[in-house]
Chains A and B, each alone.
Chain A
Amino acid sequence: RKEVEQDPGPFNVPEGATVAFNCTYSNSASQSFFWYRQDCRKEPKLLMSVYSSGNEDGRFTAQLNRASQYISLLIRDSKLSDSATYLCVVLNFNKFYFGSGTKLNVKP
């Protein structure tokens, strides 16, 4: 079983839509959680960390459910510039485990 699993998508949504991605992780002892964004043929960049109480950054909301071992990312009012692959990342004892990513296409 993979450490981190994500729906690969693609999610095709119109501008202005709300879209949500989920990610599950296998190791209940995982310590920290993140969402990274990766544009086509570019390196990943940190979008936001995910805190136990949930956290929001503008149009982006991240939530963590430790009991069910899943992480979510909600994007409100999607913009064309949000089109990218979103990587779920879990930290276990100094090692980062990356999901394969969920591809988002925001259409005009």
Chain B
Amino acid sequence: GAGVSQSPSNKVTEKGKDVELRCDPISGHTALYWYRQRLGQGLEFLIYFQGNSAPDKSGLPSDRFSAERTGESVSTLTIQRTQQEDSAVYLCASSSRTSGSYEQFFGPGTRLTVL
């Protein structure tokens, strides 16, 4: 079946511009996560959505970052007034969280370059 998809796959933007990244999770997956991975680094948690509960935004690095999710489907991550340090791969993952399964399925990521 279809996996997690993300768009765009690559985004080059100028410092100060806003960008919007999209994630389509696997159908039926109630949990959705956004991560940031800088070159040569591990994954940095950004935000977590679970069903209709309030999202866990504790990983968002600044108020320039925000994310939304429509029900249990598409999520968008918005970065306002981008800075060069925002350059990274942004990964989305979804999980069904059923039967004690915590496996996360990752999308291919959006590679963001801020010039």
Task: Please report A residues at the B interface, Cβ cutoff 8 Å.
Answer: 4, 32, 34, 42-46, 49, 87, 91, 94-101
Contact = CB atoms under 8 A, between A and B. Distances in A.
Interface string B75-98: 000000000000000010000000
Interface string B28-59: 00010101000001111100101000001011
B56 A46 contact: no
B73 interface: no
Nearest to A101: B42
Given A94-B56, A99-B42, A34 B102 contact: yes
Interface residues of B, number: 21
Contacts of A34: 102-103
Nearest to A99: B42
B109 A98 contact: no
A94 B47 CA distance: 11
Nearest to B33: A96
Q: Tell me the dominant secondary structure on chain A's binding face.
A: strand
A4 B43 CA distance: 11
A19 to B, nearest CB: 20
Contacts of B104: 44, 46, 96
A95 to B, nearest CB: 6
A45 B106 contact: yes
Contact of B43 (A32, A46, A87): A87
B107 interface: yes
A94 B50 contact: yes
A98 B42 contact: yes
A44 B4 CA distance: 12
A96 B47 CA distance: 11
A42 B107 CA distance: 9
A-B CB proximity, top 6 nearest: A100-B42, A43-B106, A98-B43, A98-B42, A46-B103, A44-B106
